[in-house]
Amino acid sequence: MSRSAHPAGPRHADVLPEGHYTAPPTDLNALDPRVWARTVGRDADGVVTVGGVDVKTLAEEFGTPGYFLDENDFRARCRAWREAFGADADVFYAGKAFLCRAVVRWLNEEGLNLDVCSAGELATALGAGMPAERIALHGNNKSEAEIRRAVEAGVGRIVLDSFQEIVRVAHIAERLGKRQRVQIRVTVGVEAHTHEFIATAHEDQKFGIPLAGGLAAEAVRRALKLDGLELIGVHSHIGSQIFDTSGFEVAAHRVVGLLKEIRDEHGIELPEIDLGGGLGIAYTSEDDPSEPHQIAKALRDIVHRECEAAGLEVPRLSVEPGRAIAGPTTFTLYEVGTVKELPALRTYVSVDGGMSDNIRTALYDAEYSVALVSRISTAEPMLSRVVGKHCESGDIVVRDAFLPADLAPGDLIAVPATGAYCRSMASNYNHALRPPVVAVKDGQAREIVRRETEEDLLRLDVG
Q: Which residues are catalytic?
A: 391
67 is in an annotated binding site: no
| Per CB under 6 A, 347 contacts ligand LLP | no
d(Cα 257, Cα 262) in Å, to the nearest integer? 9
Residue 102 and residue 128: Cα distance in Å, rounded?
8
Cβ atoms < 10 Å from Cβ of 57: 12
Nearer to ligand LLP, 241 or 350 (CB): 241
Q: Are 315 and 273 in contact (CB under 8 A)?
A: yes
Smallest distance from ligand LLP to CB 413, Å? 21
Q: Which of residues 295-324 bind ligand LLP (CB under 6 A)?
A: 320-324
419 contact partners, CB below 8 Å, separation of at least 6: 67, 69, 74, 97, 98, 326, 327, 328, 329, 330
Contact 408, 339 (CB under 8 A): yes
Q: How far is the CB of 201 from ligand LLP (least distance, A)?
A: 10
Pairing mode of beta strands 157-160, 180-187: parallel
> What is the contact mask toward ligand LLP in residues 201 to 240, using x (rule: CB under 6 A)?
------------------------------------x--x
**Is 321 assigned a ligand-binding role in the annotation?**
yes
Distance from C-alpha of 289 to C-alpha of 270, rounded to nearest angstrom = 32
Query: Residue 144 annotated as binding?
Result: no
Question: Scanning residues 142 to 201, which ones bind ligand LLP (CB under 6 A)?
Answer: 198
CB of 208 to ligand LLP, least distance (A): 9
Minimum distance from residue 345 beta carbon to ligand LLP (Å)? 28
The only residue of 50, 53, 89, 97 in contact with ligand LLP, by rule CB under 6 A:
97
Conformational region of residue 33, where left means phi above 0, alpha means psi within -120 to 50, and beta covers everything else: alpha
423 is in an annotated binding site: no
Contact in structure between 248 and 275 (CB atoms under 8 Å): yes
Q: Three-state SS for 372?
A: strand
Identified binder of ligand LLP from the candidate list 421, 423, 435, 439, rule CB under 6 A? 421
* Cβ proximity to ligand LLP, 228 vs 289, nearer residue: 289
Contact with ligand LLP (CB under 6 A): which of 34, 138, 181, 434? 138
449 closest CA partner among 100, 6, 10, 38 = 100
Measured in degrees and rounded to the nearest 5, phi and psi for residue 75 equal -65, -40
Question: Taking CB under 6 A as the rule, which mask of x and - marks residues 38-67 in contact with ligand LLP?
Answer: ------------------------------
Among 48, 94, 259, 417, binds ligand LLP (CB under 6 A): 94
Q: Is 289 helix (H, G, I), strand (E, B) or coil?
A: coil
Sites for ligand LLP among residues 361-390 (CB under 6 A): 364
The answer to the question of whether 322 is labelled as a binding residue is: yes
In what order do the strands lie in the sheet containing 41-42?
Answer: 41-42, 48-50, 53-54
- What does the chain come to in residues? 463
Closest CA to 390 of 409, 417, 362: 362
Q: Say whether 364 counts as a known binding-site residue.
A: yes
Compare residues 122 and 420 and give the one whose CB is closer to ligand LLP. 420
Q: Is 90 in the site for ligand LLP (CB under 6 A)?
A: no
DSSP 199: B
* Cβ closest to ligand LLP, residue 51 vs residue 327: 327
Give the H or E element holding residue 233. strand 229-235
Binding-site residues, in ranges, read: 278, 320-323, 360, 364, 392, 421
Instruction: Please report, as ranges, the residues that interact with ligand LLP according to CB under 6 A.
Output: 94, 96-97, 115, 138, 198, 237, 240-241, 276-279, 320-324, 360, 364, 420-421
Binding site membership for pyridoxal 5'-phosphate: which residues?
278, 320-323, 421
